[in-house]
Structure formats: structure tokens, C-alpha cells
Chain A
């Protein structure tokens, strides 16, 4: 493992599988009456959020607290950032308070990379989403969810996603989730197809390690998992598509379309969902939709990432499985 987690593309197959396996251990902690490990006792983690994000921040915070870390939450609103303080000064100020890791969410693509590589601070940096660039822990929790559902929690240990066919549908152009998922799923051996109207695919996508299609209906029968991305209504004002109705007719997932998927195939969504736009209530509330599981898995993945970045070599969880190794 590297010292920081900035991009899903930085992870090797073995790194990624190690994170998924560790997350499986962490998931067992959630089943205990006391959901807490002493692993990061005395370590301080700051959640540095320059962009509003309730679910990701809370997920990281839950993960940090379960690992017994001291947690500082910093949101840009109402802080010195709104008074014009730079990212560098904010980060240095926090580090001076003795921070071991910075979990950063920022609206500017590359901000976590700059934080990790400019010599501004020494702390480990975890990217919790930067602009339209990367959101690596989301990709990891998605892969974790796929492995659990498509292979199994126990059977999946040590396994990657070789040969699994994953379809990602929606606003790829503005999506850090899509970028991270393409990188990680490719590393894990999955076959990825992106489906979107041409306006919502970036120029230059031809070099990505995936297929691209404009036709959702022909892709669905060949999918083991279909991930629907959120499509913001504002996009239609910039002429990315004509109307909400037309978008959902062509690219939305409803009950009829879901019926064309193989029986074992799952429906995923990183949230927040726009019901009636990219996904109907019927699909969102069905057993095949993993959106709530993904949230739970997010905590396990973030525990695994923070443990592996900060925790050293000791086993994270005392458990028969790890003791056997």
C-alpha cells in the first residue's frame, strides 16, 4: 500500500484485494454488540470537507470512531476558508494540531493530489472525492458490494472480480464515481461498459479500459451488475439532454428494463438517488438494489483503508480467520 489514497488507479490488484479482505474483517465488527476496535487509539484524523457531503462524511466519521481514532470534523462553510484562507494554510494549520491523516473532499479536481504531493504537510491523505476526478473509497465499496453479492462474503476472500460484467449508466462526464470505478474494476479483472448519451461522455474516453455504448437496452442482458449514476436536473439547462422525461425514457432503469437483466444481476447506486430520473421507485426499493448495503459497506471499506494506511502490520481484528493465517 502507498502512503496516501488519491486515485483508484494507484491501487494494484493485490492492494485492492487486501483492502476488500480487510473490509470483510471489519464488517464482522459491525455485527458485534460493541462495534469498536482499539486499532487507531491515540491517532487523530481530520475530515476536511470543502464540499457539502453528509453521507460520505458520516461514513468516514463512523469508520474512524469504530477504529477508536480521535476525529476532527472541518467543513469549509463558516470556517476561515470562507474568509479567503488557502488550502495550503488550512492544511498546515490542521497538521500543526497533530493530525495523522487528512480525509479530504474538495470541489477542485486534483486538490487531494496537491495536498499529498506539494510538501505542504506530512500526514497521510485520503481522497473522499475531488471535483470530477476520483472517489476511490466509493469504488472500493462498490467492488466490495459486488464481490459479496456476486461471489459471496466468505467465498470472495482473496478473490478479484475476474470476468464480471459491470454496466455503469449515466452522467459519466461529471462523475468521479465512474472514473474511479472504471480504474478499479479494470484492475480487478471485470469487464466494464459505460452507457450514456454522447453528451455525457468525455472527449478522450476512447483510451479508458472499458466499452462505451449509447444503448442501455442492448447492454442490460449482458450485465452482472448495473450501476446507475445520479443525473442532476441542472444538466438539461446546459443542453446535455432535452428533458428529464426523455432522459429517463432512454437511460432510466425501470421495472421493465430490470426484468431484462440476468436473474442474479444486481442494481447499484452510489446515492443520492434521483427517483423518477435515473431510477424508478420500483427498482430502488427492490431486493436487487444494493443501495443501502453499499452505505453499510462504505463504513467497512473506510475502516479498512484507514487501518491499512495508519495501522501498521498488526492484524486489525482478532478473529479465528486471521489467526489461522
Chain B
């Protein structure tokens, strides 16, 4: 196997060091390293992080290959510095059987840009009525450990309780899309001052918070762990903080867009800002940043949700919900968390690699950058600033809310078990 020598990289943002990759493993980390025949990458002060892990990605294959495929989605992931993505189950057919999750897992393996760990549906067809064969999905080649009906809420309290209990047998975790369905009928945007003015159906914060409150109590009652997807309100933060203080096994994620954008943007009626959960208020954004910094929110997850152009080039009511995020996630986190002084690069590595790998049990990912560890790495030019240009995305879809916005940071290199998937910003 080949050798790569990364020279002068700030490991987790620390003092510059050299990192030698030999085959699929980090061979040595230190000063003044040299290696015969190694390919040399001059990091020149760039920041080296463990490969990023996204616990919440929509790859759309099978079924919506017009918006994304496992190939294009994993290329987008590598481009954004990710070495593992967890693929959500709301495909067509739904990933609610061993057959579908194995197909997605196998496609990821064949393409080789990024490890793909399928998430299994909690209920058959995401319909919330009957548990899917969770055990079969776990025992399949895909080895599913995270289960979610994401896009829909497991709203029936009994089904949720059973799912939480059932997956304990094999150490699984249920990731809840917290959205009380009756409170969000006809909901189109955050309910508040802006929705009142725009005449768009309101999506109250309480629809998210009431489900989170219920689920942390359920998890406590049955002694299970629960993961909360894309937490978006200040009230949700308070509930999770309370649950953690009680020792309840809850973890939570926040998306990059909820760390940066607010519902004021909806005044443009541009559906590029239409997303589930909806963009909230400035106060929520600030509470989410603070919670990510203090560890109440464990991780950043992209909720990368590709949609074809026509599903966004229309009136608000007709538009699909979601934003692509894999290729801008790290930049948004730098903008909102690092450049604001809330988190250092070691903290970013923790929230975007170490913790998500732990929650999803992604073996070999989210490891320290030290000798003997798998060489899953990403190199970031943190001094870079530039405009987001969707035309350059590796994703098949372009539905980004950041078009034309200046953001800091650019991933220049990504290594998956020592194999470069991204070199100088170009996919291999």
C-alpha cells in the first residue's frame, strides 16, 4: 500500500505536525517526519480533523435517483470532508427490510467515496403503525444500529415505547423526528411574527418540544437511549438539558442551517428556505449555538436533503422541504461556532466526528489522529473565504440556501482508510 505524508498540519487546530499515512492506517504523528516514496501533501497550516461523520443524510437511492444517488451523495460527502454518512430510510421503497438496507450499504461500498451506514425504518413504510423487522436489519450485512422514520414522527406513544425497548436487545438507538402531526397540519413555516404576516401555515415550536418531552420520559421509563434529530428550538434545548441532568440517555443533533438561518428569510417566499423542521427565530439560533458549545446538543448532522430544481422553482406551498448540506456543513459550523469563539477545532472534531460515530457505532470512525488509528482524515483550509457556488457541487441537486453567500473554510483533502477521495478540492 502507498504512503502519504501530510506536512505541517494543525492536528485538531493545535501546533503544526507531520502525519504519515501507511496503507489504511496512521503510521506516525510528529515533527520533521520523512518517508521514502511517500506522496507529500503540504498542509501549510491547514487544520487536520478526523473524517467527518454525518448521522443524518438523505441519499434518495433507491427511488429518487433524479435528486441524488448513493454515488453522487457520497461524492458530495467526500467533498465536504465526510468519511461516513448514515443514509435515512425514507427511500422508495422504504428502507424497512434487510433487502433494502443491504442494497444501499453495498452501493456505498462499491463506490468507495465514503462509508454508507443505512438507517432502518422504525415502522413499516414509515406509517407509524407496525414495527419494521428491526432485528433482521441489524443482523443483515448492513448491520443497522440506528432506526428512524425521519420525515415522519413516530407519533404513537405505544409504538415509540416498544421501539425504544425492542432495540435494546442489540444496542440500537431510535432517532426521533419530533413533530406532533396534529399540531402541524398545514404547517409551512415557523409559527410566529413572520408566519402571521406572510399568511403561511404556522409550525409551532411546541409541536417539536412536546414530542421530545414525551420521548425523553419514555426513554427514562424503559431505560433506553433515544436520539433527537434536527433539534430546532430554544425550548427543545431546555428539555434535553433537563433530561441530561436527570441522567436520561438522550443525544441530540442540530443542523448547520438551524445554526445560521432564521425565518426572516421566508419573507422572500423562496422555497430554498423551506425545510423541516422550519427555520426558527434568532433567539432559537443563539440557544442552539450555545447548546452545541456546552454539549447539551451532542452533534451536528446535515439533514442533507436533495431535491430536483423543479421542486423548488415554484410557489412556496408546492415546494418540497429540505436543503442540501454535505458540501457546506463544515463552513457553516466554522462561521457560526469557530469564528464566533464558541468552539475550537477539537470541539468541531468532537461534534462532527467523534460523537456521531459513537452514537451510530461507526467502527473505525471518529478516532483520534494518532499512530495506529484508521486513516480517516479531512484537511481544512480554515483561512479560505469564498462565495458558495452550487454549480460546483458534487451533489446531483443544487437546493442550497447559501448560494452567493460568503462562508469561511474549504475542505481540500479527504482520506478514507488512507485512500484519498478528495485532493486539492477535487474528487478522485
Contact = CB atoms under 8 A, between A and B. Distances in A.
Contact of A109 (B191, B198, B310): B198
B197 A110 contact: no
Given A86-B310, A110-B269, A114-B269, A205 B317 contact: no
A87 B314 contact: yes
B192 interface: yes
A208 interface: yes
A207 B316 contact: no
Q: Determine which residue in B191, B192, B314, B318 has the highest number of CB atoms from chain A within 10 A of its CB, and name it.
A: B314
Contacts of A97: none
Given A86-B310, A203-B202, A110 B195 contact: no
A270 to B, nearest CB: 16
B266 to A, nearest CB: 9
Nearest to A6: B269
B199 A133 contact: yes
A203 B313 CA distance: 29
Given A179-B199, A203-B196, A107 B269 contact: no
A203 B204 contact: yes
Contacts of B342: none
Given A86-B310, A179-B197, A108 B192 contact: no
A110 B318 CA distance: 11
Given A87-B314, A87-B318, A109-B316, A204 B194 contact: yes
B314 to A, nearest CB: 5
B157 interface: no
B200 A204 contact: no
A247 interface: no
B196 A204 contact: yes
Contacts of B156: none
Contacts of A88: 313-314
Nearest to A204: B196
A241 interface: no
Contact of B196 (A110, A113, A208): A208
Interface residues of A, number: 27
B191 A203 contact: yes
A36 B413 CA distance: 71
Contacts of A107: 317
B36 interface: no
B200 A109 contact: yes
Nearest to B192: A204
Contacts of A87: 314-315, 318
Contacts of A134: 199
A114 B200 CA distance: 14
Nearest to A86: B314
Given A113-B269, A203-B204, A131 B195 contact: no
Contacts of A204: 191-197, 202
Contacts, number: 79
A133 B196 CA distance: 9
B288 to A, nearest CB: 20
Contacts of A111: 315-317
B315 A202 contact: no
Contacts of B199: 109-110, 130-134, 176, 179
Interface in B191-224: 191-200, 202, 204
Interface string A200-230: 0011111110000000000000000000000
Nearest to A205: B196
A286 B310 CA distance: 52
A106 interface: yes
Interface string B236-277: 000000000000000000000000000000001110000000
Interface in B297-342: 310, 313-318
Nearest to A50: B315
A107 B201 CA distance: 12
Interface string B170-199: 000000000000000000100111111111
Interface in A261-310: none
A179 B198 CA distance: 9
A132 B188 CA distance: 12
A107 B188 CA distance: 14
Contact of A110 (B310, B313, B315): B315
Contacts of A132: 199-200
Interface in A37-93: 86-88
A114 to B, nearest CB: 5
Nearest to A113: B269
Contact of B315 (A108, A176, A207): A108
A42 B408 CA distance: 54
Interface string B343-375: 000000000000000000000000000000000
A79 B203 CA distance: 33
Contacts of A202: 195-196, 202
A7 to B, nearest CB: 9
A276 B383 CA distance: 69
A179 B197 CA distance: 7
A109 B315 CA distance: 8
Given A109-B316, A114-B315, 11 more contacts: A86-B318, A87-B314, A88-B313, A108-B315, A108-B317, A109-B199, A109-B317, A111-B317, A131-B317, A204-B197, A207-B197
23 contacts: A87-B315, A87-B318, A88-B313, A108-B316, A108-B317, A109-B188, A109-B199, A110-B198, A110-B316, A111-B317, A114-B315, A114-B316, A117-B269, A131-B199, A131-B200, A132-B200, A133-B200, A202-B196, A203-B195, A203-B196, A204-B196, A204-B197, A206-B193
Interface of B: 188, 191-200, 202, 204, 268-270, 310, 313-318
Interface of A: 86-88, 106-111, 113-114, 117-118, 130-134, 176, 179, 202-208
- 7 A-B pairs with least C-beta separation: A110-B269, A204-B196, A133-B199, A108-B317, A132-B199, A202-B196, A204-B193
